[in-house]
Chains A and B, each alone.
Chain A
Amino acid sequence: MNKNWPLWEIFVRSKNGLEHRHFGSLHAADAEMALENARDVYTRRSEGVSIWVVESKYITASNPEHNGELFEPAQDKVYRHPTFYDLPDDVKHM
């Protein structure tokens, strides 16, 4: 037969109050097995309280070659930052 187990991306929440963070990937036959393997591979020392698994093929990633057009427009929009606005020193709590 020889069908290889697909690749899964693993996201772990270290503790409640924190977001899930990408930890790495692993191979598993299905989502359930991916969860079990993720438990063994990435949380052997209580590194997590919650795990998400996503089959890698479902992730669409931006291409670093397009970083210019994607991210550079933000650089000249300094008016999005609070420091852009000049206020007198005696204005407090702002």
Chain B
Amino acid sequence: MKNESENNSSLSLEEIFEQRIANDEKIEPKDWMPEKYRKTHIRQISQHAHSEIVGMLPEGNWITRAPSLRRKVALLAKVQDEAGHGLYLYSACETLGVSREELYEQLHSGKAKYSSIFNYPTITWADMGAIGWLVDGAAIINQVPLCNTSYGPYARAMVRVCKEESFHQRQGFEIMLTLCKGTEVQKQMAQDALNRWWWPALMMLGPTDDVSVHTEQSMKWKLKRKTNDELRQQFIDQTVPQADILGLTIPDPDLKWNEKTGHYDFGEINWDEFWQVVKGHGPCNKERMDARVGAWERGTWVRDAAMAYAEKQQNRKENAAKAV
């Protein structure tokens, strides 16, 4: 070990840092890191946390109207998991020296982004099926490689998240399966949900590689192991056979198996729509932010009361100790 650090003496701090990551060493909160590494990680981890938190809203919409107690407890547990994911990730992000209040403020002011998929409405029960199946499915594809990312607290949070995601996707697929085995109207409802969620789910895996700005640096820091296009192809390849099992049609006339490449070819993605939603003009951007900010503001007195109570208890304890 000693020899190694002597050999390293001609390298800059940054070169040593990059070497550690290349050797699959983890970076921990108090380690030296380049400012750009810190900033990029705060941005990505907080964006991820915000997505988990805002992601509760479209599904929360159906908890009170779930069609059975079984579906209701499952959906409730899933939404609670998403809250947990948000909290694991916020706590990982805070180890980089940013406070929870700053992170919330960035979300609430619109400065920080969250996954654009959550700006679409959930208008039927089948949307709960489609979200679990497709949105959590795409999230899993995004997240599994992050379990090996270079920043220790982020990697550990992702391990916990990934363990929990698989139930999310399975409960969604089961909802779809039940609808598809039901009446004609129920099957129509499932098809309609697939029609609406398919393209946004593909967009969820991010812009195409030729326009994606962060890829190269992110690859080096293991924030990304595969490019957006590779992830998207993987998602399509594994989802199409699942749609076949459901007996549903993927809403893409250009979708077909390519013998030569061993992958599915697929049609043009409407990136204009994607950027519109990212810029705040999706069907529910305003509704989501109003719900989030409103909940935070209406909760102020509760947070204050809890602090006041904690202080009172503390004072009582101290006074009692003095009295003895």
Chain A residues close to B by CB (< 8 Å): 1-5, 7, 24-27, 29-30, 33, 40-42, 44-45, 61, 63-65, 68, 72, 75
Contacts and interface: CB of A to CB of B under 8 A. Distances in A.
Contacts of B91: 24-26
B307 A61 contact: no
A-side interface mostly: mixed
A65 to B, nearest CB: 7
A29 B309 contact: yes
23 contacts: A2-B304, A3-B307, A4-B99, A4-B101, A5-B307, A7-B94, A7-B100, A24-B92, A24-B156, A25-B94, A27-B100, A29-B306, A29-B307, A29-B310, A30-B306, A44-B80, A45-B164, A63-B30, A64-B28, A64-B31, A68-B5, A72-B2, A75-B1
A72 to B, nearest CB: 7
A41 B87 contact: yes
B81 interface: yes
Interface residues of B, number: 33
Contacts of B157: 24
B124 to A, nearest CB: 28
Q: Which 8 A-B pairs have the closest CB atoms?
A: A30-B310, A29-B306, A29-B310, A25-B91, A1-B304, A3-B307, A24-B91, A64-B31
Contacts of B219: none
B100 A4 contact: yes
Contact of B30 (A2, A7, A41, A61): A61
Given A1-B308, A30-B310, A30-B314, A75 B87 contact: no
B94 A64 contact: no
Interface in B1-54: 1-2, 5, 28, 30-32
B100 A72 contact: no
A77 to B, nearest CB: 13
A44 B81 contact: yes
Interface string B259-295: 0000000000000000000000000000000000000
Interface in B88-133: 88, 91-92, 94, 99-101
A45 B164 CA distance: 9
B84 A41 contact: yes
B220 interface: no
B164 to A, nearest CB: 8
Contact of A24 (B88, B303, B313): B88
Contacts of B164: 45
B303 A5 contact: yes
A41 B31 CA distance: 27
Contacts of A25: 91, 94
Contacts of A7: 94, 100
B113 to A, nearest CB: 23
A30 B313 contact: yes
B21 to A, nearest CB: 15
B168 to A, nearest CB: 13
A4 B306 CA distance: 10
A5 B91 CA distance: 13
Contacts of A5: 303, 306-307
A6 to B, nearest CB: 9
A30 B310 CA distance: 6
Nearest to A9: B91
Interface string B134-178: 000000000000000000010011000000100000000000000
